[in-house]
Structure 1
Amino acid sequence: MQSRIPSLNWLRVFEAAARTESFARAAEQLNMSAAAVSQQVRALEERLGAPLFIRHAHAVRLTEAGRAYLPPVQQALMTLEEATEGLFGQTREQGLYVQSVLIFAHGILSRGMAEFEEQHPGVSVVLSTGNSASDLQGGFSDLKIIFGNPHAYGAESDRLMGERLFPVTVRNVAERIAHPSDLLEWPLIEVGTHRSGWSQFLEDRKVRPGGRRIVYADSSLMAMAMAREGRGIALARAPASDIEMNGMGLTPCLPGVSVQGSEAYHLVYDSLSGLRPPARRFRDWLLDWIARQGWD
């Protein structure tokens, strides 16, 4: 059965023609003839079974199908270019591509990256962040820092650290909460993607959850922003959320009361033996640096 994945040359020609809205200008950029551009675009359209351009005398314009197809083609070409440069380019021994969940990058990596850069001045770290699984499953990376099940992202991994959960909100609300059961008088802001949440916290503190009001956020950072605006009580996830909590002026509702989360952060990769030198240096540094902070 013939693959529906088109030729890479066809995709490069399509992207250039779509970007310039001209077969002639695309031909100049690609060092081809306009006739060759037109021929390759036609071949791509025949493979896909749909027209991608509306032809005019001196320009072309994308069809609806072409407009929908362009973004994933551009992303795929960019990913391939980054991977090729990272693995085989002139700087392949020094380029390092890291993907990380946002709260870890913001609250943990930001504290230590200056040390890594000072110790390894020749390594250029390209850091990208995301919140969802789909954010971290696309694109090229040497290493991924994820929260939750590491096996969904790579064959091998290192546990980095866990988290402790405790309720936070604006000061005037926090001062009115003397016992864990008082939390139920306020909306509780839940991050729906986390297994560790309000149910775990309330159960640990022996609070019956009946009558609680739940509002949802898509990340811990958003949950704390909602708490800052007086929309309820969020769960801080220390130490990754410490910087954000302090920056938003949030206060623990029950000082000294926290619950150990059931999930952890992991550094994920396909093969330890296959890591490129800069990735191996970053892994060694990160594991040592986190151990020195006393985080578990």
Structure 2
Amino acid sequence: MLCGMAGRIPSLNWLKVFEAAARTESFARAAEQLNMSAAAVSQQVKSLEERLGAPLFVRQAHSVKLTEAGRAYLAPVQQSLMTLEEATEGLFGKSREQGLYVHCVLIFAHGVLSRGLPEFEAAHPGLSVVLSTGNSAVDFQQGFSDLKIIFGNPHAYGAESDRIMGEWLFPVAAPEIADKISQPGDLLDWPLIEVGTHRSGWRQMLEEVKVMPGAGKMVYADSTVMAMAMARAGRGIALARAPASDAEMRGAGLVTCLDGARVRGSQTYHLVYDDLRALRPPARRFRDWLLEWVRQQGWD
């Protein structure tokens, strides 16, 4: 599969030349920036166009303009070159700070890592954590990372993993709604905001409090962050996913409904990587710190 992909990916030099010519709108100015001749720039662009089977520029007397295909191609090329440059500098650069690249599910980054990262970075002054967030599997396929922190099945993201912690679910709502809920059946008077990508949700919660799951009206969000925002706006009742959602819950001004009604989630957070033995030293230090720090918080 990778061999087939490599056969279709153009030369890195061609892509660098294309990006410079597109940015400057001139083969001559691109040549100056790249320390090449204008003829060499023109030839490499032509080779790239032949490989792709489509023209990327409209040639004019003293400038060039991107075609529609060229405009569409420019953004991913620039992003790929930037990602490669950042990863190279972070991994092999000679700057005083060494980069550690962590890709993390959004709610964990916001509700958990934000609490502990200052402590980690203070203990490792020569190491800078570059944190990116996402929610979908596609998000985690983009860009370079030393480590991934995901929710759910770790095998979809890497060969090896460590369990970090689980979650507890309980209903939360805006205070004016929560005040009207005194018994489990009252939950069904309001829309129940469900995160459709999670295995544990309202069905499990309602079964726990002995309410028929099929009787509730469901509305859907794509993440816990969005579910909390919808609950803050009064659109219904969300499920907190403690402890990762604690900060989001407080920030949204939400309060618990039915004190004591909580259920253990069936999915957990994992730290994912390809090979523990191959982890760079900064990634090993972060792994060791994270697992111990979460344990010290009493989260499991």
| Interval containing the TM-score (normalised by the shorter chain) | over 0.9
C-alpha contact 2:57 2:66 (8 A) present in aligned 1 = yes
TM-score, length-normalised on structure 2? 0.95
Moved over 6 A (4+): none
Work out the number of aligned pairs and report it: 296
What is the alpha-carbon root mean square deviation over aligned residues? 1.5
Structure-1 separation of matches of 2:271 and 2:233? 34
2:291 is aligned, of 287, 290, 296, to 287
Task: Describe the shift of the 1:92–1:138 C-alpha distance in structure 2 as closer, same or farther (beyond 3 A).
Answer: farther
Kindly provide the CA deviation profile for residues 77-126 of structure 1, in whole angstroms up to 9, marking residues without a partner as x. Answer: 12222222232222598321111011101100011111111211111111
1:122 equivalent to 2:148? Answer no
1:183-239 per-residue CA deviation (whole Å, 9 max, x = no partner) reads 111011111111111112112222112332111111101110110011111111100
Structure 1 Cα separation of the partners of residues 228 and 207 of structure 2: 22
Look up the match of 1:242. Answer: 246
Is the CA contact 2:111–2:247 (under 8 Å) kept in the aligned structure 1?
yes
1:127-142 correspondence to structure 2 within 5 Å:
127-142=131-146
One-letter code aligned to 1:24? A
Please give the alpha-carbon distance, in whole angstroms, between the structure 1 residues aligned to 2:15 and 2:213.
55
Residue 183 of structure 1 is aligned with which of 187, 190, 211?
187
Q: Is the 8 A contact 2:97 2:126 kept in 1?
A: no
Tell me what 1:108 maps to. Answer: 112
- Residue 137 of structure 1: CA displacement? 1.6
The answer (yes or no) to whether the contact 1:11–1:73 under 8 Å persists in 2 is yes
The TM-score, its normalising length taken from structure 1, stands at 0.96
Indicate whether 1:162 and 2:145 are aligned: no
Which of 260, 274, 277 matches 1:273? 277
**CA separation in 2, counterparts of 1:52 and 1:163?**
50
Structure 1 regions of 5+ residues with no counterpart? none
- Gapped regions of structure 2 (runs ≥ 5): none
Alignment of 1:34-49 (within 5 A): 34-49=38-53
State the secondary structure of the residue aligned to 2:213: coil
Amino acid aligned to 1:118: A
Candidates 4, 8, 32, aligned match of 2:12: 8
Give the structure 1 partner of residue 217 of structure 2.
Answer: 213
Residue 36 (structure 1) shift: 0.9
Question: Could you report, residue by residue, the CA deviation over 1:38-74 in whole angstroms, capped at 9, with x for unpaired residues?
Answer: 1100110011110011111122111111111112212
Following superposition, the deviation at residue 147 of structure 1 comes to 0.5
